[in-house]
Amino acid sequence: MKIGVLGAGQLGRMLALAGCRLGYRFRFFDTSSDAPAAQLGELHTGSWQDVQALRRFADGLDVITYEFENVSLFAAKTCSDCAPVWPPLGALEMGQDRVKEKACFRKLDIPSAVFREAHNFEELKQATLDLGFPCVIKTTTLGYDGKGQYVLRNQNDAEAAWRALAGSGVIVEQFIAFEREISVIAVRSMAGDIAFYPIAQNEHQQGILRTSRVPTVNLSESLQAKAQDYARRILEEYRYVGVMAIELFETKGELLANETAPRVHNTGHWSIDGAITSQFENHLRAITGLALGSTDLRCPTVMHNLLGEPPAMEALAAIPGAAIHLYGKSPRPGRKIGHINLLGSSVEELAEREKILNALVVKSSS
Ligand SMILES: Nc1ncnc2c1ncn2[C@@H]1O[C@H](COP(=O)(O)OP(=O)(O)O)[C@@H](O)[C@H]1O
Ligand SMILES: [Mg+2]
Residue 109 CA: distances (Å) to CA of 4, 112, 229, 343: 35, 9, 11, 37
pLDDT for position 142: 87
* CB-ligand 1 contact for 266 (6 Å cutoff): no
Residues 254, 317 within the same domain: yes
Do 199 and 333 belong together in one domain? yes
Tens-digit pLDDT profile for residues 275-321: 999 999 999 999 999 999 999 999 999 999 999 999 999 999 999 99
CA of 207 to the centre of ligand 1 (A): 6
Closest ligand to Cα 149: 1
59 Cα–ligand 2 center, Å: 33
Domain end, chosen from 124, 139, 174, is at 174
Domain end (from 43, 69, 85): 85
Is 259 a pocket residue for ligand 1 (Cβ < 6 Å)? yes
Residues 349 and 258 in one domain: yes
Residue 311 has a CB neighbour count (10 Å cut-off) of: 18
- Ligand 1 geometric centre to CA of 259 (Å): 8
Same-domain pairing of 158 and 32 = no
Domain C-terminal end among 144, 159, 174 = 174
User: Best mutation site among 69, 94, 136 for ligand 1, i.e. most ligand atoms within 8 A of its Cβ?
Assistant: 136
- Ligand 2 centroid, distance to 255 Cα (angstroms): 15
Report the CATH number at residue 270.
3.30.470.20
Q: What is the pLDDT of residue 365?
A: 60
Please give the pLDDT value at position 184: 98
Q: How far is the CA of 321 from the centre of ligand 1 (A)?
A: 30
Q: Is residue 102 part of a domain?
A: no
Q: Is residue 95 part of a domain?
A: no
Question: 270 CA distance to ligand 2 centroid (A)?
Answer: 17
Residue-range definition of the domain harbouring residue 298: 180-365
207 ligand 1 Cβ < 6 A: yes
For ligand 1, is residue 204 a contact (CB within 6 Å)? Answer: yes
Do residues 342 and 213 both lie within one domain? yes
Q: Cα–Cα distance between 110 and 104 in angstroms, integer?
A: 8
Please check whether residues 9 and 37 belong to one and the same domain. Answer: yes
Instruction: Please write the tens of the pLDDT for every residue from 122-178.
Output: 999 999 999 999 999 999 998 888 889 999 999 999 999 999 997 788 999 999 999
pLDDT digits (tens, 9 = 90+) for 233-253: 999 999 999 999 999 999 999
Q: Is 84 in the pocket of ligand 1 (CB under 6 A)?
A: no
Mean pLDDT of the chain: 96
Same-domain check for residues 28 and 144: no
Shortest-distance Cα residue to atom 26 of ligand 1? 207
96 is a domain residue: no
When pLDDT is cut at 50, 70 and 90, the band that residue 220 belongs to is very high
Residues 290 and 359 in one domain: yes
Q: Is residue 354 part of a domain?
A: yes
Which-ligand-closest: CA of 69? 1
